[in-house]
Amino acid sequence: MNYGQIIKRSWEILKNNKFLWGLGILAGLVSGGGGVPSFNFPSNFQSAQPTPATIQTWPTVSPASGDANLSMANVGRVLGEVVDRSGDAVKSPISATTISIIVLCVVFGIIIGLVILYFGTSAQAGLILAVDKLETTSEKMGFKKALNEGKKYFWRIFGAGLLYSAYVLIFLVICGALIGIAILLNNTVATVVIILLGVVLVIAFLVSCLYLVVLYLFVTQIIVLENLGPIEALKKAHILVKNNWRDVLISWVIMMGIGFVVGLALVLALLIVGAILALVGFGVYGLTGVVGTVIYGIIFGIILFVVLLVVRGFITAYMSIFTTLVYRALYYIQAQKAV
């Protein structure tokens, strides 16, 4: 394979098809994950401080004269009073309202997460379809069409992700079972044997996970471009990697290298921008006080978030294009070998 040509072609496709950036932004929300820190500034700082009346309502215990240790009876009485007061607090209307708000926030967060998962996964498939269409017929699908076409593959791509998660979960269950057995046996020799077995399992798990990471580079492409289910796609990815392991390994190293260089550049840029914003923030604080600084932080926090979202989308789109072109080249090599 001509890796330099694939790298160059990936850039040309991304540069000349801006709609792929939008798909990359959506896809970047689910590929690798990520979160946005939230900064909450209380409107009344004094309300967060305990009042003397509140402090006096808690039970107090003084040790006996000349004895620095509390008696078990006193400790039991204190714990009982604390539990009783905690129960009363939970039953109060304020606590019930707070719990309701928390539940609503959790439900809302789950709904938002599912929406992001659906459109992000659909965008992943849309990116692959759009690049394949460009390379096959030179036809531009456009953002809306690519996203709508990608929705057809949501459940299969989601299923492939569940298979990987199930594999990790099974390993964790096995590890938990081994720890439980070691505790129940309470035997030094058995514990040593179980620890050694656990070490072997961890090494085997890490190696298998590394192999799965390589497989999953092409699983989504196979699901989308060959219209297969997750299990069939995994089998085909295994055959593809086994028969072309050198090309796959080199492609993976190139992707890791690109990711490292871009990530390092992004971290350095964030440090520089962060330092500048912090210096400006001190100036804003000196001129406007807390309120102005909070407003300044919110505005530039939103701007920084949007910029990072766009940059992440750009990187995600490029990596997807690169992987799709590599898969197309490997597919062509496979076809040539079959002939």
pLDDT per residue as tens digits for the range 257-299:
998 998 899 899 989 988 998 898 888 888 888 888 889 889 9
DSSP 1: -
User: Quick one: pLDDT at residue 42?
Assistant: 38
129 and 146 Cβ atoms separated by less than 8 Å: yes
User: Quick one: pLDDT at residue 74?
Assistant: 54
Is pTM, for the whole model, over 0.75? no
User: Quick one: pLDDT at residue 66?
Assistant: 44
User: Quick one: pLDDT at residue 58?
Assistant: 41
254 and 7 Cβ atoms separated by less than 8 Å: yes
DSSP result, 64-90: PTT--SPPHHHHHHHHHHHHHHHHHHH
| Residue ranges, the chain, pLDDT below 50 | 32-73, 75, 79, 82, 89-90
Q: What whole-number distance in Å separates Cα of residue 144 and Cα of residue 131?
A: 14
